[in-house]
């Protein structure tokens, strides 16, 4: 009689923008029911994904904290950055794949949506073909942000651009100027550059900064009035003003 184990499944589970009640039914079921729970975090921090899932994990849950070896300490343009993260993701892949080969299901907690600028994508590309991998979509942080403003982000034929504040300033300015509606993510240390780009594009009065969207500390401020800003959990928005009945 064969004793071969059926491989477990690795689930990339989107947790949404920050509020536990914005999880899908499927995400809630997997987070509450799966024993092995993995998540990314910065060393010494609990991690945003883990914070969202607080109080949801089963009592015998085995937590797998995957701690980034580097975040902002090395510039993204430095070859060491990619080399360091590539080795990290390879190690995480091996760790999760070993559990799946042993027949264990694993849930990887993902902020927002797993396939939208998330770290899980780097695991998925490595795990695909090695073991079963499934993705549970989640509400994106940007959707949480524009809903926090109480205004539609697009109307009619508006073109929505999603840009990273890490872009060169000239490129950022061009994209802000050329689009109808705008979302800017990954602001971090790039907030001063982003402010200049928005002003150069002539759209400073239309820009909003949303901090901690869908979280208890949520704050929505016109960019022109924003001073005390927490850039890491911030998204900049410009609402489209397109065709409507």
Which structure tokens are listed for 114?
Answer: 């797993």
- Write the pLDDT tens digit of every residue in 114-147: 999 999 999 999 999 999 999 999 999 999 999 9
Which structure tokens are listed for 41?
Answer: 């975090």
> What is the overall mean pLDDT for the chain?
93
Name the pLDDT band for 244 (thresholds 50, 70, 90).
very high
Residue 1 has pLDDT above 60, yes or no: no
The closest of 4, 103, 18 to 53, measured between CA atoms, is 18
Name the pLDDT band for 82 (thresholds 50, 70, 90).
confident
- In a 13 Å sphere around the CA of 29, the CA atoms on its Cβ side amount to 4
Can you list the domains of the chain with their CATH numbers? 10-139 (3.40.1010.10), 142-238 (3.30.950.10)
Distance separating alpha carbons of residues 158 and 59, to the nearest angstrom: 48
Backbone phi, then psi, for 67, in 5-degree steps?
-95, 120
Residue 93 has pLDDT above 60, yes or no: yes
Residue 72 has pLDDT above 70, yes or no: no
Q: What is the pLDDT of residue 2?
A: 43
Determine how many CB atoms are found less than 10 A away from the CB of residue 204: 17
Task: Tell me which of 204 and 44 has the higher pLDDT.
Answer: 204
* Percent of the chain residues topping a pLDDT of 70: 96
**77 CB burial (10 A radius; 0-12, 13-18, 19+):** exposed
Residue 243 has pLDDT above 90, yes or no: yes
Residue 25 has pLDDT above 50, yes or no: yes
Q: What is the pLDDT of residue 202?
A: 98
* Number of helices followed by number of strands (H, E) in the chain: 7, 10
């Amino acid at each position: 009689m064969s004793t071969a184990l059926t491989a477990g499944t690795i689930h990339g589970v989107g947790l949404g923008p920050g509020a536990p009640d914005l999880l899908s039914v499927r995400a809630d079921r997997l987070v509450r029911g799966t024993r092995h729970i993995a998540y990314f975090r910065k060393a010494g921090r609990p991690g945003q994904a883990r914070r969202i899932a607080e109080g949801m994990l089963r009592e015998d849950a085995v937590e797998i904290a995957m701690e980034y070896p580097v975040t902002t300490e090395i510039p993204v343009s430095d070859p060491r950055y990619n080399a360091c993260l590539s080795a990290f993701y390879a190690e995480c892949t091996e760790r999760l794949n070993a559990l799946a080969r042993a027949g264990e299901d694993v849930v990887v907690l993902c902020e927002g949506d797993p396939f939208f600028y998330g770290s899980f994508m780097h695991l998925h590309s490595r795990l695909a073909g090695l073991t079963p991998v499934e993705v549970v979509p989640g509400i994106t942080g940007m959707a949480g942000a524009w809903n926090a403003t109480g205004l539609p982000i697009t109307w009619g034929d508006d073109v929505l651009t999603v840009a990273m504040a890490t872009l060169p300033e000239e490129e950022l300015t061009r994209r802000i100027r050329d689009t109808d509606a705008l979302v800017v993510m990954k602001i971090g240390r790039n907030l001063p550059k982003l402010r200049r780009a928005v002003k150069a594009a002539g759209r400073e009065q239309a820009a909003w900064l949303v901090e901690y969207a869908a979280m208890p500390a949520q704050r929505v401020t016109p960019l022109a009035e924003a001073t005390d800003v927490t850039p890491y959990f911030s998204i900049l928005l410009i609402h489209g003003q397109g065709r409507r009945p």
